[in-house]
Amino acid sequence: LLQGAFQIASGACDVCVVGSSDAALRASVMSSFHRLRVTSRHDDPRTACRPFDETRDGFVIGEGAAVMILESREHLQKRKGRALAKVLGGGWLSDPTGMTQVDETGAVVQEVIQRSVDATRVVPSLISVHGTGTESNDLAESRGISQTSCKSALCFGMKGSLGHLLGAAGSVETALSLYGLSKRQHAGTTNLNQQDPRCPISIARHPGQVSADAVFGKLSLGFGGHTAFGMFSGGDGR
């Protein structure tokens, strides 16, 4: 999504189709993640993925897809369309810790968020976190966020209800969050019962209302060190 937004901002195009899909529910993929010891061993799949919870032990793999249409303000006005949301900015960095590891100090997460905030001079009040329910991810995200200007933001994670959609996770979670923003609502964090005290951020356990001027941030992490943060606000109807 950020790549598409930057293409439009640079004048390379007026409209860009962005998104991703993943269908990984096959034995070879699931066994690979199981051997990495990042999948949950809780018996009930409905409650197995528990982001930021003291009893978390990994995620549950899911499948999904999401596609969004980005366009310049001029193109939107010309066709008399209505915007669901506005892209305010963002960026990405590479975490050099390892192919399947993240920096648990949160330094990389802190840097990509703070760079984005400094560049746009906007501080999100809501953050959709990656929230895999693995110890390393949850510690990296919460420690990183707590060291930024967004440390008071209300966070929420969707993987407790969606599962980890792997390559589609960022797109689906962004699309759902943007739709919620248009309805002035935010999601909750399914299966968060007892928050790990080592995760010093404010996490919403249940869905709630948001103000019309709320700014939403999306934090995504991926194997290979990919770390990205985007910021959005509600559409203006034009």
Residue 170's φ and ψ, nearest 5 degrees, are: -60, -45
- Please, what is the average pLDDT of the chain? 95
Calculate mean pLDDT across residues 118-147.
97
| CA 168-199-223 angle, 5° bins | 30
* pLDDT value for 236: 64
> Residue 28 and residue 34: Cα distance in Å, rounded?
10
For residue 238, what pLDDT band results from cuts at 50, 70 and 90?
Answer: very low
* pLDDT value for 137: 96
104's CB contacts (< 8 A; 6+ apart) are 136, 139, 140, 143
* Residue type (1 letter), 222: G
* pLDDT value for 197: 97
Calculate mean pLDDT across residues 127-151.
97
> Residue 198 and residue 84: Cα distance in Å, rounded?
36
Calculate mean pLDDT across residues 31-54.
95
Kindly state the DSSP code that residue 167 receives in the 8-state scheme: G
pLDDT of 48 > 70? The answer is: yes
Residue 2, CB half-sphere, CA atoms under 13 Å: how many?
Answer: 17
Contact 120, 217 (CB under 8 A): no
Residue with tokens 């699931």: 30
**pLDDT tens-digit readout, 152-182:** 999 999 999 999 999 999 999 999 999 999 9
> How many other C-beta atoms can be found within 10 angstroms of the C-beta atom of residue 170?
25
* pLDDT value for 98: 87
> Residue 102 and residue 43: Cα distance in Å, rounded?
27
* Residue type (1 letter), 202: S
pLDDT of 235 > 80? The answer is: no
